Amino acid sequence: MIQNETKRGIWLMVVTTFIFASQDGLSRHLAEAANTPMIVMIRYWFFALFVISIARRQKGSIRAAAATSQPLVQAFRGALLALEIMVMVLAFVYLGLVESHAVFAVYPLLIGALSGPVLGEKVGWRRWTAIAVGFVGVIIILQPGSSVFSPYAAIPFLAALMFAVYGLLNRYVARLDDTATSFFWTGVVGAIVSTAIGVFYWEPLQGWDWALMLLLCITGAAGHYTMIKAYEVAEASAIQPFAYLQLVFASAIGLTIFGETLRINVIVGAGLIIAAGLFTFWRERVRRKQN
């Protein structure tokens, strides 16, 4: 049963965005050192082993963890995430972290907007206004940079659409399945899909890149677990505005580690996005008190 613990869900989302931003930096480096399909494949091998061990501990057996009344939905969301990760890592290689996340930042808007018609959650006009303000922030971020409007900008936009659908499906399956079951399907199906693609791109990593690969595997497992938990305890429309913090974290990594640039429009746009998220949280608290 889903618990509507909004405050806990928000903190889980903040932690998730920081973990995801960190692994994005690792993914960019490793994809440039080798190739995207192989990096995602190795990451999913670790992820699958991790979720199998979690399944045995929490459910008693793999069969119990895999038990679900919605296998097609679970398999689809697992495959969708694996493909989305490959698409987004390609964006990091072609556009960099700052530009890619500027485009990718549209995904929480898509989830917030679709959580009503798809999941039946109530989204009032004030939260619709906050979503609109956040979208204006994204437009401000994108507008001045001509490189963002190159054909490569379609890559992170496609990833944003895929991730938005994945996020909604997390909430959907959580109505009947617990975290352990969803986690199991995410890791196992993702490993199968990524291996079917990545096995054709194998090449050896060099030196410390293997250590970074291990770190990427650990952050990948941790990030998806905290995200699934966030969707379990709070409404998607309430916690999604805080997912914009990934833009801030990823931009900081891009600036300090990869030498990317930060324009004034990115600062202004990110400010609007964060303000929209804080307003949404405030409105959620008001609505809960009224009920």
Cα separation of 12 and 107, whole Å?
Answer: 18
Number of structural domains, the chain? 1
Cα separation of 200 and 18, whole Å?
Answer: 31
Please indicate, yes or no, if residue 65 is contained in any of the structural domains.
yes
pLDDT digits (tens, 9 = 90+) for 2-25: 445 778 888 898 999 999 999 999
* Nearest CA-CA partner of 245 in 156, 137, 140: 137
* pTM of the predicted protein model: 0.80
Torsion of CA 11, 241, 222, 49, to 10 degrees: 140
Tokens of 128: 């619709």
Confidence of residue 109 (pLDDT cuts 50, 70, 90): confident
Please indicate, yes or no, if residue 35 is contained in any of the structural domains.
yes
Please indicate, yes or no, if residue 1 is contained in any of the structural domains.
no
Residue pair 183/225 in contact by the 8 Å Cβ criterion: yes
Tokens of 263: 């324009």
The DSSP line for the chain is -----HHHHHHHHHHHHHHHHHHHHHHHHHHHHS-HHHHHHHHHHHHHHHHHHHHHHHHSSHHHHH--S-HHHHHHHHHHHHHHHHHHHHHHHHH-HHHHHHHHTTHHHHHHHHHHHHH-----HHHHHHHHHHHHHHHHHHTT-GGGGSGGGHHHHHHHHHHHHHHHHHHHHTTTS-HHHHHHHHHHHHHHHHHHHHGGG-----TTHHHHHHHHHHHHHHHHHHHHHHHHHS-HHHHGGGGGHHHHHHHHHHHHTS-----HHHHHHHHHHHHHHHHHHHHHHHHHHH-
Over pLDDT 90: what percentage of the chain? 31
Please indicate, yes or no, if residue 210 is contained in any of the structural domains.
yes
Please indicate, yes or no, if residue 232 is contained in any of the structural domains.
yes
- Which one-letter amino acid corresponds to residue 210? W
- Reported residue count of the chain is 291
Query: What's the confidence (pLDDT) of residue 142?
Result: 64
Tokens of 27: 């993914």
- Where is pLDDT greater, at 138 or 27? 27
Range of 48's domain? 6-290
pLDDT digits (tens, 9 = 90+) for 209-242: 999 999 999 888 788 778 878 877 887 667 767 7
pLDDT digits (tens, 9 = 90+) for 93-103: 988 898 788 77
Please indicate, yes or no, if residue 218 is contained in any of the structural domains.
yes
Query: What's the confidence (pLDDT) of residue 42?
Result: 94
Query: What's the confidence (pLDDT) of residue 144?
Result: 46
- Where is pLDDT greater, at 228 or 199? 199
Confidence of residue 164 (pLDDT cuts 50, 70, 90): confident
